[in-house]
């Protein structure tokens, strides 16, 4: 499986790239924000960081980048699209996921491992987890306080779009939401960083199942057994 890791000015893209290449053992390429095509890639990854220095609003400038037109096309074509941290913020700004991000309730940057619960394991991103499984994944953000209106929250619940929730809600997110998918189920945004939980040497491997789930789905749907 071949992944595109999107690179914006200020992205922390190396962790994502190394997670795919070194730990997952799949193909990955760094793709610049001004790219005009994402043809040939099976999955799209938007990493964390501070794209464009988070000027104006986290993710607001990045979503205007040329490559985002292609990310939208990939999402509409049903390809798996994952946005982590700042990548989640960009997906929200681009309208690929509902809701918005506010500053953490503490108004401080938070960087530490957090326990999150798998609320929905019936997705292409979570099929290798158990429903209700609690995993430990690092967070690193200042604007990770997820918010949406009551109608949107109702739809998220009815459609089982809430994929991850915090056990201890470090940032004040509405109902502890840590990650959501779109209605089609192929776009996931999450504030915790699974790419930083793929090796015991850096604190654990709870994030690796997420990437393996994506590959498993791709192999099953493309009838590929050794790719």
Q: When comparing pLDDT for 69 and 59, which is higher? A: 69
pLDDT at 224 over 70: no
Give the pLDDT score at 54.
74
Give, as one character, the DSSP assignment of residue 8: -
Q: Are 15 and 195 in contact (CB under 8 A)?
A: yes
CATH of 2-222, one of 3.40.50.880, 3.20.20.140, 3.40.50.2000, 3.40.50.12280: 3.40.50.880
Pairing of strands 162-166, 110-118: antiparallel
Indicate the domain borders of the chain. Answer: 2-222
pLDDT at 227 over 70: no
User: What whole-number percentage of the chain has pLDDT above 90?
Assistant: 88
Q: For residue 49, is it left (φ>0), alpha (ψ between -120 and 50) or beta?
A: left
Give the pLDDT score at 86.
95
* Per-residue pLDDT reduced to its tens digit, 88-101: 999 999 999 999 99
Give the pLDDT score at 226.
54
Contacts of 178 (CB under 8 A, 6+ apart): 114, 116, 146, 164, 165, 166, 190, 191, 192
Give the pLDDT score at 225.
60
pLDDT at 65 over 90: no
In angstroms, the CA 161 to CA 182 distance is: 7
Contacts of 35 (CB under 8 A, 6+ apart): 66, 67, 70
* Per-residue pLDDT reduced to its tens digit, 140-161: 999 999 999 999 999 999 999 9
Contacts of 204 (CB under 8 A, 6+ apart): 113, 136, 197
* Per-residue pLDDT reduced to its tens digit, 3-40: 999 999 999 899 999 999 999 999 999 999 999 999 99
Give, as one character, the DSSP assignment of residue 39: T
Q: When comparing pLDDT for 10 and 193, which is higher? A: 193
Give the pLDDT score at 51.
85
Query: What pTM did the predictor assign?
Result: 0.95
């Amino acid at each position: 499986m071949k992944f595109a890791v999107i690179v914006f000015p200020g992205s922390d893209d190396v962790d994502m790239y190394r997670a795919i290449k070194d730990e997952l053992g799949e193909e990955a390429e760094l793709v610049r924000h001004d790219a005009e095509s994402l043809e040939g890639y099976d999955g799209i990854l938007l990493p964390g960081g501070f794209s464009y220095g988070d000027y104006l609003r986290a993710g607001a400038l990045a979503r205007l980048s040329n490559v985002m037109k292609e990310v939208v096309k990939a999402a509409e074509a049903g390809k798996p699209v994952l946005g982590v941290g700042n990548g989640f913020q960009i997906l929200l700004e681009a309208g690929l996921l509902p809701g918005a991000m506010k500053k953490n309730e503490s108004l401080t940057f938070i960087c530490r491992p957090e326990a999150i619960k798998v609320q929905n394991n019936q997705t292409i991103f979570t099929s290798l987890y158990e429903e209700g499984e609690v995993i430990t994944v690092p967070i690193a953000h200042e604007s990770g306080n997820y918010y949406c209106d009551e109608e949107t929250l109702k739809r998220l619940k009815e459609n089982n779009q809430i994929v991850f929730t915090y056990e201890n809600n470090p940032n004040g997110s509405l109902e502890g939401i840590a990650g959501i998918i779109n209605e089609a189920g192929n776009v996931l945004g999450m504030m915790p960083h699974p790419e930083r939980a793929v090796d015991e040497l850096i604190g654990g491997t709870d994030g690796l199942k997420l990437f393996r789930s994506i590959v498993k789905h791709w192999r099953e749907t493309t009838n590929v057994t050794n790719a």
